[in-house]
Structure 1
Amino acid sequence: MHPLFEYIRPMDHAPISCDVLYPPSSRSILDRSTRVPIPYETLDEPATEPAVYSQLVLKCDLFPWEIIVRPNAAGTAPAKSARHPFTRRRPVTNLDVLFALYDALSERITEDEWSRLGQRSRMQRQISHAYEQRCVKLGGGWETGVRRIDWLDGRTRLVGIEMIPNSKDSVASDTATLIFKTPA
């Protein structure tokens, strides 16, 4: 992973400070130590080394689905023009990761996802509580329903991403694990 997301074990965090409850912006993507916005040039760098050009699959123990990150998720690639009909192939960037993560976690959960938790199960109650706390914190949003971010149970601060080594039965994409904590 890019050093921005690299999970550092003894300190239990990466250099980035990003609360995925909020859309990626200069207000929400900060340097952990200086609390200043991460420069766009850094966000536009490849998210992995070596760079991934097809897709990056993000997983997390806190929710049951994968997040697929493809290049240009944030709409940053230059448009093709008649003068330059071919654009260079873009890798998955740091900003692509943050936009894909925000977009995926902003989705409403499906009835099927909800029912798989079990009627009135402990998980349903926990996610419902997280939904209520999110709506109170944001001062609204009740009408939009339970979102995938509520699966995180308030742990919305991205503290790092760890690459999962490719196995022999792995698909032609790279996979990484997301690590979250509760915002301070």
Structure 2
Amino acid sequence: MHPLFEYTHLDHAPISCDTIYPPSSRSILDRSTRASIPYETLDEPATEPAVYSQLVLKCDLLPWEVIVRPNASGAAPAKSTRFPFTRRRPVTNVDVLFALYDTLTECVTEDEWARLGHRSRAQRKISRAYEQRCIKLGGGWETGVRRIDWLDGRTRLVGIEMAPAKDGVASDVATLVFKTPV
């Protein structure tokens, strides 16, 4: 992973991004300085070596995967400053953030809700997170429960943890790490 997202239990990533808000200079911050992450950094490949097709991210709190494709933000310039001679763009850091936001803001289907069990502990917990999110945003009640509510208020992305390599082969499993916003 790019150093912006690289997270281990001993070494935390520099990013702090509250995924309740769309990716912007106000929501994508340096964890220690609280300054905006420069666009040049966000435009860099999210992985080394660069991935040109898709990147799959998981989270233990979510039953869904986050599929990240190049130009997920829809805002990439026609010619990237870092990749001016290539037609294909790699998956970038900003692509990761937009794909994550888009995935988390999807409405939960009736089927997904029903699978939790009628009035189950999980439904009650997610309902509380939904209420807290709507109060924090000052609205959004009419759109219903969203995938972000599965995070139970832990909406601040603080990094992406790669599974350890096995037999010298890098893993393709990456886990999103969330914390409660301060």
TM-score (norm 1): 0.88
CA distance in 2, matches of 1:116, 1:58: 22
Secondary structure of the 1:57 match is: strand
Q: Aligned letter for 2:4? A: L
Q: How does 1:15-164 map to 2 (within 5 A)?
A: 15-79=14-78, 88-164=87-163
Q: Deviations over 1:73-122 (max 9, x none)?
A: 01244449xxxxx9521110000000000010001001111011011110
Q: Aligned letter for 1:67? A: V
Match of 2:3 in 1: 3
RMSD between aligned residues: 1.9
Match of 1:170 in 2: none
Given that 1:19 and 1:157 are in contact with CA atoms closer than 8 Å, whether structure 2 keeps it comes out as yes
Given that 1:57 and 1:175 are in contact with CA atoms closer than 8 Å, whether structure 2 keeps it comes out as yes
Secondary structure of the 2:61 match is: coil
Q: Aligned letter for 1:74? A: S
Secondary structure of the 2:176 match is: strand
Q: Mind listing any 5+ residue stretches in structure 2 that lack a counterpart?
A: 80-84
Secondary structure of the 2:173 match is: strand
Given that 2:158 and 2:177 are in contact with CA atoms closer than 8 Å, whether structure 1 keeps it comes out as yes
Given that 2:8 and 2:161 are in contact with CA atoms closer than 8 Å, whether structure 1 keeps it comes out as no
TM superposition outliers: structure 1 runs of 4+ over 2 Å: 76-80, 163-167
| Aligned-pair CA distance for 1:34 | 1.1
TM-score (norm 2): 0.89
Match of 2:82 in 1: none
Q: Mind listing any 5+ residue stretches in structure 1 that lack a counterpart?
A: 81-85, 168-172
Given that 2:19 and 2:156 are in contact with CA atoms closer than 8 Å, whether structure 1 keeps it comes out as yes
Match of 1:176 in 2: 174
Q: Deviations over 1:7-29 (max 9, x none)?
A: 03225x31001000000000000
Q: Aligned letter for 1:7? A: Y
CA distance in 2, matches of 1:165, 1:96: 24
Q: Aligned letter for 1:180? A: F
